[in-house]
A = this chain, B = another copy of it.
Amino acid sequence: MALTGVLRPGHVAIRVLEMGPALKHYTEVLGLIEVARDDQGRVFLKAWDEHDHHSVVLREADEAGMDYMGWLVDSHGSLEALAAAVKESGLCTNLEWIPAGEHPATGVRFRFVIPTGHVMELYAKKEKVGNDCGEDGPDINPRPWPDGLRGMAPSRFDHCLLYGDDLDGTVELFTKVLGFGVAEQVMAGPDKSLMIGAFLSCSNKAHDVAFIRQPVKGKFHHASFHLGSWEQVLRAGDIISRTRTSIDIGPTRHGITRGETIYFFDPSGNRNEVFCGGYVYYPDKPTITWWEQELGAGIFYHDRKLNEAFLSVFT
């Protein structure tokens, strides 16, 4: 198989301060679909074009932020091999196996804490529930989009951007152990040798996860969801205003990844992004380098200015 090992970001578990407003936000404003609740009160959601059972998990807590991010791997064999390799690397702590069924419709998950302090999981199995486009049965003679979409209606959960201190360790883990490539990097220091940002891909996407070096542990900058066009980014901006959702910045373009984007906050202060565009990444594509002094243009290409709020607000 040409795509092997870690296939994609499969879920992100987000802490919210109150479930009611959070659910309203994620289903009516962002436009995800609720698929399950469990007896802990967690709510599981998916985007319309995802085939897997869920991709977002909401949990009520006293503090906003990300609990963990989960990665689908291509087989149980790969899961065991990668778990062994993570252990072997010595880069991670708190390694544990979460039993099958702890997430509904999901197999066993291997959980670990990476050098930047984030909790990551690998898993090989989640029930396929399809995308409601098939007109004569699941995946048979499909239409291009289903009826009944609400809100911004992104097609899928795409990536997270995370803040943490030991960027070197985390990048080593993702590239050497988990098989990711560095699509883009931000370099600082007098000789531009200090990596302060890394955009990592395990696929043809410009990023599946990104990390920024910050003197914190396990912090969450945003979860991002994919739209089909720049016109849908405009429409997302209209919905943000119409629903009095707290906007962060956009519509605009990123220099890094070329994406066309808008940012906003859920009612608990967790940042969301919806975006479109970007290029096709391959593992042999040269890494794009941004110098710290051009980071303004790297983050928001049109105004080329560092945006303090964008950099300093996270959960």
Contact = CB atoms under 8 A, between A and B. Distances in A.
B144 A203 contact: no
A133 B152 CA distance: 19
A197 interface: no
Contacts of A51: 285-286
A106 interface: no
Given A6-B2, A51-B286, A130-B286, A230 B238 contact: no
Nearest to A301: B241
Contacts of A46: none
Contacts of A201: 2
Given A1-B181, A2-B201, 11 more contacts: A2-B180, A49-B279, A136-B294, A142-B288, A143-B301, A144-B255, A203-B280, A204-B204, A229-B231, A230-B231, A238-B253
Nearest to A257: B144
Contact of A128 (B1, B138, B240, B286): B286
Given A141-B291, A291-B141, A238 B282 contact: no
Contact of A7 (B5, B143, B284): B284
A21 interface: no
A52 B263 CA distance: 34
A179 interface: yes
Given A247-B302, A251-B302, A139 B238 contact: no
Interface in A67-93: 72, 74
A7 to B, nearest CB: 6
Contacts of A237: 252-253, 301-302
Which of A3, A240, A287 gathers most chain B CB within 10 Å? A3
A155 interface: yes
B282 A7 contact: yes
Contact of A141 (B134, B280, B298): B298
A167 interface: no
A258 interface: yes
